[in-house]
């Protein structure tokens, strides 16, 4: 259900998220689901956004055993869909403190000149335009309360550019740029904006990739294994907390040693 690849207990190190309200896009599975679980165990309430209504309902039901969870079916490239979901979260939870822009697609693999323009555009729309539209809708709610933490899930591909994934790499490089710009705009507002650049985690997103691309990604990781979702949720949780107080516009590596800059 949640894309875990390890039996590690995510509640070992407690975060102080009591009273916080978090939106997690793409929260029905994988890293998004794991982050939601970690935040709930740390005292937060969570609103899951996902385009897959059936999977979203299952995830909300499972996570509701831990804490307060709501779910909204959202198309992240549609401004009206996002506005409706923001209003739903504010109605259910009264405020928004945390936004995790996690939703993303790979668009498959292929050489740049062989990828169809519609596929290329769709990846940019979901992975970059979606976070922009979500931030555009959520930041005013954070400004009202004078507090916010935004965590953008970019990728090591956004730093290095993976062959046969130009659309995905470009979208994640753009998300890093968005993170830095927005962070500077909000630097004196007590709203911090950071990004993480994970190497691949073995979740259902692998179903969108060719085996040779998966093998390529693994060959680039010095630790010789893929990211575990528990490792991602730990960093996301800290960046979402008040303990993260003087880091904004930063890009946190999570690549098993692949990138050291």
**33 counts as catalytic:** no
CB 25 within 8 A of CB 74: yes
Angle at the Cα of 228 (from 216 to 124), degrees rounded to 5?
A: 60
Given the residues 33, 132, 168, 261, the one annotated as active site: 168
Contacts 24+ apart (CB under 8 A), 247-250: 247/192, 247/194, 248/183, 248/186, 248/187, 248/192, 248/193, 248/194, 249/179, 249/180, 249/183, 249/184, 249/187, 249/193, 249/194, 250/183, 250/194, 250/195
Cα atoms in the Cβ-side hemisphere of radius 13 Å centred on 145: 16
Edge-to-edge order in the sheet of strand 45-50: 69-73, 45-50, 21-25, 98-101, 148-153, 191-198, 251-254
Q: Which residues are catalytic?
A: 168
């Amino acid at each position: 259900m949640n894309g875990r690849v390890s039996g590690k207990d995510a509640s070992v190190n407690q975060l102080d998220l009591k009273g916080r309200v978090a939106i997690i896009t793409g929260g029905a599975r994988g890293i998004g689901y794991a982050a939601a679980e970690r935040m709930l165990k740390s005292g937060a309430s969570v609103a899951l956004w996902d385009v897959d209504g059936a999977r979203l309902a299952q995830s909300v039901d499972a996570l509701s055993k831990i804490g307060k969870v709501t779910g909204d079916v959202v198309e992240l490239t549609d401004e009206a869909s996002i506005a409706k979901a923001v209003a739903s979260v504010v109605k259910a939870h009264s405020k928004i403190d945390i936004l995790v822009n996690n939703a993303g697609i790979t668009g498959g693999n292929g050489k740049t000149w062989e990828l169809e323009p519609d596929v290329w555009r769709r990846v940019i729309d979901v992975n970059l335009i979606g976070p922009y539209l979500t931030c555009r809708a959520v930041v005013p709610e954070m400004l009202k309360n004078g507090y916010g933490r935004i965590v953008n899930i970019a990728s090591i591909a956004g730093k290095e550019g993976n062959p046969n994934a130009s659309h995905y790499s470009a979208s994640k490089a753009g998300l890093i740029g968005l993170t830095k710009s927005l962070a500077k705009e909000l630097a004196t507002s007590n709203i911090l904006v950071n990004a993480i650049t994970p190497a691949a985690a073995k979740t259902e997103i692998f179903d969108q990739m060719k085996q040779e691309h998966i093998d390529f990604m693994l060959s680039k990781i010095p630790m010789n294994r893929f990211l575990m979702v528990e490792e991602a949720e730990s960093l996301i949780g800290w960046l979402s907390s008040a303990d993260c107080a003087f880091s904004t516009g930063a890009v946190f590596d999570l690549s098993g040693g692949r990138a050291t800059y």
